[in-house]
């Protein structure tokens, strides 16, 4: 399947990739509605305080991040499709359980179950994608999934907005029901996909670390850490930047919504085109490095309205320019990171490797709000520049990290040869012959 056959389409060409995209679209609609309404549901209907909600979700995502690796390993060993379907069903049940939660004592375990199922589902779907889509097309398919996911989130957010307007417990409960049904529908769509052929590596016994080779793969851990640093862009656009706009600039409050719409729309329209240029590790490294530079430029531009007096129009214009630079950098970083994450993972172990790589998302969500608000609101221009420098350093460091991973030995050192490229031993032998 060639990505270029549908270069401007939201959905990939017919086949397994389209089935994955439709499943992503369905569950994203539910997620969009849930994200908009969940905080108010927990506070107004369940009766939790803001501190209880924040602490509970932090604990839940920490547990989910830890669970992602063993659940990804389960997908490798027991079948990616069946594991993904099971975890989609578990997510639906955990959301449905939230309908009956009325105390913190029940909220915490149910939230943990939700986060575990979500993180495990993400790893299992990556393993399923690796089994159904040829290597050279994976980054393009992931770009389609990102685009369809954003479209679903936008639709779901509109549904959530209706519930917010109604403001009744029944409206919030309906949103939770929609989210549970969406994940059940996602599971059904995943079940309709073909089951990938088992990999010899996946079915063979693994020695040490309970078979979790990724836990001993230091180069891959470094790549994951650098990606996690760059994923701080997520709480930047959703939390730190809105607070900066409202508290430190002359821009009106509606600017926050405009920037979020711009970010979502740009990813929907251009993520696939951006990813089409990434076809190998060398291109992926360059793309991530450029993404880091663009995010540094965005941070510098965002700082301007807070320190340079000027008319409202000037502040809004600067923020829009910064948002364009940020989403451009985000799309490039995402495309490069997808290629790197798959290419450096051994065949047959994609589930555990993608589960480990995916821990960057919940960790960024946990640590990002405190770190970014401290830097941006507490540090002002200097804080923005430090944040931008973090993005740039992580992007530049990705090159040496990938080269280290390409030449690694140890439990996962066979990945290059398994994925169709000469490994370190083969390259050494070639130089001697």
pLDDT in tens, 180-230: 999 999 999 999 999 987 655 544 444 444 468 898 999 999 999 999 999
Task: Tell me how far apart the alpha carbons of residues 46 and 98 are, in angstroms, rounded to a whole number.
Answer: 9
> Under DSSP, is residue 15 helix (H, G, I), strand (E, B) or coil?
coil
If pLDDT is split at 50, 70 and 90, which confidence band does 17 have?
very high
| pLDDT tens per residue, range 156-185 | 988 988 998 898 999 999 999 999 999 999
Residue 55 neighbours by CB under 8 Å, 6+ apart: none
**Lowest-confidence range among 4-8, 19-23, 128-132?**
4-8
Q: What is the pLDDT of residue 200?
A: 54
Task: Tell me how far apart the alpha carbons of residues 183 and 228 are, in angstroms, rounded to a whole number.
Answer: 26
| pLDDT tens per residue, range 403-418 | 999 986 544 444 443 3
Q: What is the pLDDT of residue 72?
A: 93
Q: What is the pLDDT of residue 408?
A: 67
Max mean pLDDT among 137-146, 238-247, 295-304, 357-366 falls in 295-304
Average pLDDT over residues 349-359: 92
Nearest to 157 by CA among 38, 266, 47, 5: 38
Burial 148-161 (b: 16+ CB within 10 A, else e): bbbbbbbbbbebbe
Q: What is the pLDDT of residue 180?
A: 97
Residue 387 neighbours by CB under 8 Å, 6+ apart: 232, 236, 299, 372, 375, 376
């Amino acid at each position: 399947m060639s990505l270029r056959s549908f270069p401007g389409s939201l959905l990939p060409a017919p086949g397994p990739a389209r089935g994955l995209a439709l499943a992503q679209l369905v569950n994203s609609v539910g997620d969009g509605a849930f994200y908009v309404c969940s905080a108010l549901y927990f506070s107004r209907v369940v009766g939790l305080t803001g501190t209880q909600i924040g602490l509970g979700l932090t604990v839940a995502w920490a547990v989910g991040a830890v669970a992602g690796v063993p659940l990804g390993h389960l997908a490798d060993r027991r079948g990616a499709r069946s594991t993904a379907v099971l975890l989609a069903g578990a997510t639906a049940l955990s959301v449905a359980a939230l309908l009956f939660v009325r105390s913190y004592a029940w909220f915490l375990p149910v939230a943990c179950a939700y986060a575990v199922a979500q993180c495990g589902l993400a790893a299992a779907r990556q393993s399923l994608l690796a089994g159904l889509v040829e290597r050279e097309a994976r980054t393009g398919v992931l770009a389609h999934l990102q685009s369809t996911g954003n479209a679903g989130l936008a639709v779901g957010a509109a549904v959530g907005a209706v519930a917010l307007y109604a403001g009744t417990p029944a409206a919030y409960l309906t949103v939770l029901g929609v989210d549970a049904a969406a994940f059940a529908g996602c599971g059904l769509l995943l079940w309709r996909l073909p089951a990938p052929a088992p990999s010899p590596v996946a079915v063979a016994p693994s020695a040490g670390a309970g078979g979790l080779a990724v836990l001993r793969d230091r180069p891959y851990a470094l790549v994951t850490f650098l990606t996690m640093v760059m994923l701080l862009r997520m709480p930047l656009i959703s939390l730190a930047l809105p607070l900066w706009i409202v508290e430190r600039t002359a821009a009106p409050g509606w600017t926050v919504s405009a920037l979020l719409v711009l970010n979502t729309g740009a990813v929907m329209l251009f993520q696939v085109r951006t990813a089409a240029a990434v076809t190998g590790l060398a291109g992926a490294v360059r793309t991530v490095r450029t993404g880091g530079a663009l995010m540094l430029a965005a941070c510098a531009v965002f700082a301007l309205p807070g320190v340079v007096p000027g008319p409202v129009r000037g502040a809004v214009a600067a923020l829009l320019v910064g948002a364009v630079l940020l989403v451009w950098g985000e799309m490039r970083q995402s495309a490069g990171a997808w290629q790197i994450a798959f290419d450096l993972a051994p065949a047959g172990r994609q589930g555990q490797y993608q589960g480990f790589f995916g821990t960057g998302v919940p960790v960024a969500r946990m640590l990002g709000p405190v770190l970014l608000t401290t830097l941006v609101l507490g540090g002002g221009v200097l804080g923005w520049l430090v944040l931008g420098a973090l993005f740039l350093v992580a992007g530049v460091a990705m090159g040496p990290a990938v080269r280290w991973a390409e030449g690694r030995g140890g439990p996962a050192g066979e990945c290059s040869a398994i994925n169709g490229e000469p490994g370190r031993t083969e390259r050494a032998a070639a130089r001697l012959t």
